[in-house]
């Protein structure tokens, strides 16, 4: 790998983590209160009493990312381009998500719009069109790589969004995968990968405290789309494309299964038959109705019904295994 560490910049990773963590942690309580008072809430459909939960809590994640990125830009001007590309990509996806939360977008339009999140990376030139693939080695994709960047942002943003359906599922699974990316960044000596992963990891850990079962807040599309875009930025700017796909394989698989089963893009609100059923004992079961969409969670529930927190735990464990495979893939790149 051509990426080399600069010791002064490596020390900023813990600072980036701490800054995004504490900003998100401190802002979430007043944000939750404000969202509830403003009537920005959603129904937790996986509870028998159907409680109203504050929606658009992803604003807190974005604020953590923004504050941390700006602080690090001020401390090291050499990091302005990668941090700015990372931040702007996240914000663009977040704005699209916020619009969708307030006034639902057309299901086919949303993935097209999320390609716009890749523009900062393209304009600032924070990418290397020679990704590393285990066994194959370094590929040369000078012409096609820039074309793939917007597509990559749309795929990752919507994949994360599609898995944000249970308490703690999105942050929990992403946290595990990001821990793997932090380790991989150290192995590959990817300074940008380490720094950006640390920033997002800090915000997600803080947010997870309020989204874990039983959730006090939902991220909304403003949160899930911005997190997905941030992950795509980490993969591209940190030159960790292949290992990121491996680490986030559950998210990718879930998105693919859903799209195939429903025959294309449909807005969540348009799907009349739910993929899971809530049983009287609070457990979740896969919906046997052939018209119900297939999901990755449905595969987990295929053998037996589980409580919501058990489903999320299983998802996190599976993501953990994918993270281990991603680390092994990284080792293959350096051996």
Q: Report the 10 Å Cβ neighbour count for 130.
A: 14
pLDDT in the model for residue 268: 60
For the chain, the average pLDDT equals 93
Residues in the chain: 335
Q: SS3 for 49?
A: coil
pLDDT tens digits for range 53-76? 999 999 999 999 999 999 999 999
> Does 2 score more than 60 pLDDT?
no
- Among residues 178, 224, 197, the alpha carbon closest in space to that of 326 is found at 178
| pLDDT grade for 4, boundaries at 50, 70 and 90 | very low
Q: Could you give the percent of the chain with pLDDT greater than 70?
A: 94
The domains of the chain are located at 7-248
> Does 225 score more than 60 pLDDT?
yes
Q: Where are the beta strands (DSSP E) in 242-311?
A: 276-278, 283-286, 306-307
pLDDT in the model for residue 1: 42
Weakest mean pLDDT among 212-226, 288-302, 320-334:
288-302
pLDDT tens digits for range 18-49? 999 999 999 999 999 999 999 999 999 999 99
| pLDDT grade for 266, boundaries at 50, 70 and 90 | low
d(C-alpha 318, C-alpha 312), whole Å: 10
Give the residue-averaged pLDDT of 106-135: 93
d(C-alpha 152, C-alpha 157), whole Å: 8
pLDDT in the model for residue 132: 86
Chain centroid to CA 279: 29
> Does 108 score more than 90 pLDDT?
no
pLDDT in the model for residue 296: 93
> Does 177 score more than 80 pLDDT?
yes
CB-based contact 203:172 (threshold 8 Å): no
- Backbone phi and psi for residue 76, each to the nearest 5 degrees, phi listed first: -150, 105
d(C-alpha 114, C-alpha 104), whole Å: 14
CB-based contact 82:247 (threshold 8 Å): no
pLDDT in the model for residue 135: 77
CB-based contact 3:191 (threshold 8 Å): yes
Weakest mean pLDDT among 6-15, 210-219, 263-272:
263-272
CB-based contact 158:226 (threshold 8 Å): no
pLDDT tens digits for range 193-223? 999 999 999 999 999 999 999 999 999 999 9
- CA geometry: angle at 231 spanning 270 and 73, to 5°? 130
């Amino acid at each position: 790998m051509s990426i080399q560490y600069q010791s002064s910049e490596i020390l900023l990773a813990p600072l980036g983590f701490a800054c995004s963590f504490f900003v998100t942690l401190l802002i979430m309580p007043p944000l939750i209160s404000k969202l509830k008072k403003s009537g920005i809430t959603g129904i937790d459909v996986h509870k028998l009493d159907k409680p109203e939960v504050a929606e658009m809590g992803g604003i807190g994640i974005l604020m953590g990312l923004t504050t941390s990125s700006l602080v690090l830009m001020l401390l090291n001007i050499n990091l302005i381009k990668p941090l700015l590309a990372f931040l702007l990509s996240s914000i663009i996806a977040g704005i699209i998500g916020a619009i969708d939360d307030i006034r639902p977008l057309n299901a086919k339009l949303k993935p097209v719009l999320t390609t716009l999140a890749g523009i900062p990376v393209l304009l600032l030139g924070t990418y290397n069109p020679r990704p590393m693939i285990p066994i194959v080695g370094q590929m040369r994709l000078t012409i096609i790589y820039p074309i793939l960047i917007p597509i990559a942002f749309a795929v990752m943003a919507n994949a994360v969004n599609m898995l944000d359906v249970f308490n703690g599922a999105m942050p929990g699974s992403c946290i595990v995968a990001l821990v793997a990316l932090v380790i991989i960044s150290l192995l590959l000596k990817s300074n940008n990968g380490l720094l950006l992963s640390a920033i997002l990891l800090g915000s997600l850990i803080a947010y997870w405290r309020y989204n874990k079962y039983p959730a006090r807040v939902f991220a909304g599309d403003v949160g899930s789309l911005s997190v997905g875009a941030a992950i795509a930025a980490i993969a591209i700017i940190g030159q960790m494309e292949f290992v990121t796909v491996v680490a986030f394989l559950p998210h990718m698989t879930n998105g693919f299964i859903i799209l195939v089963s429903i025959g294309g893009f449909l807005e969540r609100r348009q799907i009349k038959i739910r993929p899971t059923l809530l049983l009287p004992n609070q457990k979740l079961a896969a919906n046997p109705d052939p018209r119900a969409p297939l999901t990755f969670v449905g595969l987990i529930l295929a053998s037996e019904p589980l409580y919501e927190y058990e489903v999320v735990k299983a998802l996190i464990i599976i993501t953990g295994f994918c993270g281990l495979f991603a680390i092994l893939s990284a080792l293959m790149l350096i051996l």
